[in-house]
Amino acid sequence: MEHIAAFDKASKRYGDKVVLEDFSFLLPGNGTIVLMGPSGCGKTTLLRLLAGLEQPDSGQVALAQGKRLSMVFQEDRLLEVLTARENILAVLPPESASIADRCLEQCGLTEEANLYPGEMSGGMKRRLAIARAVAFGGDLLLLDEPFKGLDMDTRRRIIAFVFGTPLWEAGSDRPRATLLVTHDAEEALDVARRILVLDGPPLTIRESLEVPQKELSAGERQELKNRLIRHITNSRENI
């Protein structure tokens, strides 16, 4: 299988805190991998290293040559001097207004298109940050707890937007690989091909759970959810 990114004996520390130590991992070039683990174990650092926002102290973190990525941070990181529509247009090629408008529509932000971030609620800004990252496209989409703070109905709508197909039928690139950080087991089961249960620091992969690519019965889903929760609970107890 083609891999889009690789960690090769990567180490990272902040002062005396060792977050990664000789960490190696190959990220597949398609599908969604979900990262779950206790707060502070190193999930966000892993994403930041992948995005090139941090550099390893030793070892290597490499994105495959010619590949592009986009990222949704825990913070919205919107451009305050631009409207909602302009925030999306800023990451698109010229003459892409229709893509921006479809992003706004699918995220329920059509009426807020001309508002500035300072005029929007927290939930609106969260949806806009997601819409902008998805509009940018690329080969890898990094999502750091992107749906946190959204109510259940809105969360379902945005998950369908991120992992669905309608937007890309309009001509935008679709991210081939997605790496999602979440603490929500239901959310993980909804979108994952594989779930990595993490421990740390230093960051380690405690378990790797494959999610069947078929419609699960209620019993099968609950069994997988219980198994996942047990693994996460064990990780927390080992901190």
Give me the DSSP letters along the chain.
--EEEEEEEEEEEETTEEEEEEEEEEEESSEEEEEE--TTSSHHHHHHHHHTSS--SEEEEEEPTT--EEEE-SS----TTS-HHHHHHTTS-TT-HHHHHHHHHHTT-GGGTT--GGGS-HHHHHHHHHHHHHHH--SEEEEESTTTT--HHHHHHHHHHHHSSTTGGGT----SEEEEE-S-HHHHHHH-SEEEEEETTTTEEEEEEEPPSSPPPHHHHHHHHHHHHHHHHHHHHT-
Residue-level pLDDT at 170: 45
CATH classification of 69-136+140-174, choosing from 3.40.50.300, 3.10.580.10, 3.30.70.260, 3.30.9.10?
Answer: 3.40.50.300
Using CB atoms within 10 A of its CB, is residue 39 exposed (0-12), middle (13-18) or buried (19+)?
Answer: exposed
Q: What is the dihedral of CA 116, 121, 126, 129, to 10 degrees?
A: 0
Positions of CATH 3.40.50.300 in the chain:
1-66+179-239, 69-136+140-174
| Cα–Cα dist 104/111, whole Å | 9
- List 199's β-bridge partners, or say none: 204
Tokens standing for 79?
């451009």
Residue-level pLDDT at 174: 54
Architecture of domain 1-66+179-239: 3-Layer(aba) Sandwich (3.40)
| Cα–Cα dist 153/236, whole Å | 29
| Cα–Cα dist 12/56, whole Å | 5
List per-residue pLDDT tens for the chain, 239 residues long. Answer: 689 999 999 999 999 999 999 999 999 988 899 999 988 999 999 999 999 999 999 999 999 999 999 999 999 999 999 999 999 999 999 888 999 999 999 999 999 999 999 999 999 999 999 999 999 988 999 999 999 989 999 999 999 999 875 444 444 455 579 999 999 988 998 899 899 999 999 999 999 988 887 777 888 888 888 877 777 776 555 54
Residue-level pLDDT at 168: 45
- List 137's β-bridge partners, or say none: none
